[in-house]
């Protein structure tokens, strides 16, 4: 019997734990965790994501600022906002919603976020710590960490598993690769440049699909008993959201599978909340 992984339920439980930590921080240290989310322009998906992040943070009792800029904002103005939040002791976490309009230099903006407030873990200091599997506290990609939480909810261990990740993005796939390697998995990354992708997908105990291609993966590409994590979010012409995996088809062979919507998506926001409180605790 296939388990359809209930990301909403696991995210709800994580949010409950985060709320308890927020209450404790307030009561014992007088600290209210604060997050500033920067949104540039009016990309419909980004507007929805940032609204959800803002509302969830408020619901959990945090301070939340949603700073909106028009799509033609200058690099200097966004940089100024980042410096402002870097210096604001009531803000522990700063996030820039991606993608940004082409005229902005994304790398410069991410690097401008103070590493101890870089809640998405994209600043090169934090990326380096993850890559080196350093001890100590540092934030990592919220989607990647959220996927690890899902995997730990359904699997006894990651060690020794063969994992194939489709896609090699800096935002999700590469940090996930590091997290998995750090837990002694054997990780293969495939992309548009890979010949015979099926060879790698069929050998995977855990298959993560982050390509952004609707229904890319079918059951004949998946190992019997595999755990399949669908990261893709594709909005179809009828406005329905679908993942990169044909879930109904792949369910016939997978042991565990995440649906879209309701799988990885809710975990990204819940992990963002979790990491905001982490940052408030680590840097108090
Ligand atoms: P991306 O869009 O930057 O890059 C896609 C990657 O997939 C590239 O490395 C490309 O080579 C590879 N790829 C594309 N088509 C392929 C194919 N046919 N075969 C093999 N490889 C292929 O990656 P991203 O930013 O990780 O986003 C991937 C998807 O995940 C998108 O749909 C995005 O919306 C979604 N996403 C979801 C969440 C979430 O919270 N659920 C978070 C981030 C991204």
Query: What is the value of ipTM here, to two decimals?
Result: 0.98
CATH topology of domain 142-264: Rossmann fold (3.40.50)
CA count, 13 A, side-chain hemisphere, 98:
14
Structural tokens at position 67: 């700073």
Tell whether the model's pLDDT for residue 284 goes beyond 80: no
Choose one of 142, 167, 230, 246 to mutate for the ligand 1 pocket test, by most ligand atoms within 8 angstroms of C-beta. 167
Q: How far apart are CA 228 and CA 211, in angstroms?
A: 14
- Residue of higher predicted confidence among 284 and 226: 226
Q: Taking CB atoms and a 6 Å cutoff, what residues make up the pocket around ligand 1? A: 143, 166-169, 171-173, 190-192, 197, 210-213, 216, 231-234, 264-265, 268
What is the reported pLDDT for 236? 94
Mean of the pLDDT values across residues 226-252? Answer: 96
Say whether 142-264 and 29-114 share the same fold: yes
Exposure class string for 242-266: b at 16+ Cβ within 10 A, else e: bbbbbbebbbebbbbbbbbebbbbb
DSSP 3-state of 28:
helix
DSSP 3-state of 227:
strand
Q: Where are the domains of the chain?
A: 29-114, 142-264
Q: How far apart are CA 48 and CA 261, in angstroms?
A: 14
Q: How far apart are CA 33 and CA 74, in angstroms?
A: 29
Ligand 1 centre from 166 Cα, in Å? 8
Ligand 1 centre from 256 Cα, in Å? 21
What is the reported pLDDT for 144? 98
Q: How far apart are CA 264 and CA 179, in angstroms?
A: 16
CATH topology of domain 29-114: Rossmann fold (3.40.50)
What is the reported pLDDT for 108? 98
DSSP 3-state of 235:
strand
What is the reported pLDDT for 1? 81
Mean of the pLDDT values across residues 241-262? Answer: 97
Ligand 1 centre from 11 Cα, in Å? 22
CB–CB of 273/62 below 8 Å? yes
What is the reported pLDDT for 157? 95
Gyration radius (Cα) of the chain, Å: 19
| Positions marked catalytic | 53, 97, 120
Tell whether the model's pLDDT for residue 148 goes beyond 90: yes
- Residue ranges for the known binding site are 167-169, 233
Report the DSSP pairing between strands 186-190 and 234-235: unpaired
- Give me the percent of the chain exceeding a pLDDT of 70: 100
**Tens digits of per-residue pLDDT, 58-104?**
999 999 999 999 999 999 999 999 999 999 999 999 999 999 999 99
Mean pLDDT of the chain: 97
**Tens digits of per-residue pLDDT, 150-182?**
999 999 999 999 999 999 999 999 999 999 999
Rounded to 10 degrees, what is the CA torsion of 143, 149, 153, 155?
90
**Tens digits of per-residue pLDDT, 174-209?**
999 999 999 999 999 999 999 999 999 999 999 999
pLDDT level of residue 20 (50, 70, 90 thresholds): very high
pLDDT level of residue 15 (50, 70, 90 thresholds): very high
**Tens digits of per-residue pLDDT, 112-130?**
999 999 999 999 999 999 9
Tell whether the model's pLDDT for residue 105 goes beyond 90: yes
């Amino acid at each position: 019997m296939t388990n359809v992984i209930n990301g909403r339920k696991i995210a709800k439980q994580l949010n409950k734990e985060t709320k308890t930590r927020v209450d404790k921080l307030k009561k014992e240290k007088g600290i209210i965790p604060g997050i500033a989310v920067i949104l540039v322009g009016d990309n419909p998906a980004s507007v929805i994501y940032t609204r959800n992040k803002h509302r969830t943070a408020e619901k959990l009792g945090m301070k939340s600022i949603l700073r909106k800029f028009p799509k033609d904002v200058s690099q200097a103005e966004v940089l100024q906002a980042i410096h402002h939040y870097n210096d604001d002791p009531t803000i522990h976490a700063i996030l820039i919603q991606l993608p940004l309009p082409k005229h902005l230099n994304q790398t410069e903006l991410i690097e401008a976020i103070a590493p101890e407030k870089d809640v998405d873990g994209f600043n090169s200091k934090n990326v380096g710590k993850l890559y080196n599997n350093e001890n100590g506290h540092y934030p990592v990609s919220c989607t990647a960490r959220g996927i690890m939480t899902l995997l730990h909810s359904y699997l006894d261990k990651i060690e020794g598993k063969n994992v194939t990740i489709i896609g090699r993005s800096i935002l999700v796939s590469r940090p996930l690769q590091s997290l998995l390697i750090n837990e002694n998995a054997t990780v293969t990354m495939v992309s548009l440049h890979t010949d015979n992708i099926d060879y790698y997908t069929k050998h995977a105990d855990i298959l993560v699909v982050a390509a952004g291609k609707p229904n890319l993966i079918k059951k004949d590409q998946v190992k019997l008993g595999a755990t399949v994590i669908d990261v893709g979010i594709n909005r179809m012409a009828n406005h329905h959201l679908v993942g990169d995996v044909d879930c109904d088809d792949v369910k016939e062979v997978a042991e565990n599978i995440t649906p879209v919507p309701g799988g990885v998506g809710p975990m990204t926001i819940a992990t963002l909340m979790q990491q905001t409180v982490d940052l408030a605790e680590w840097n108090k």
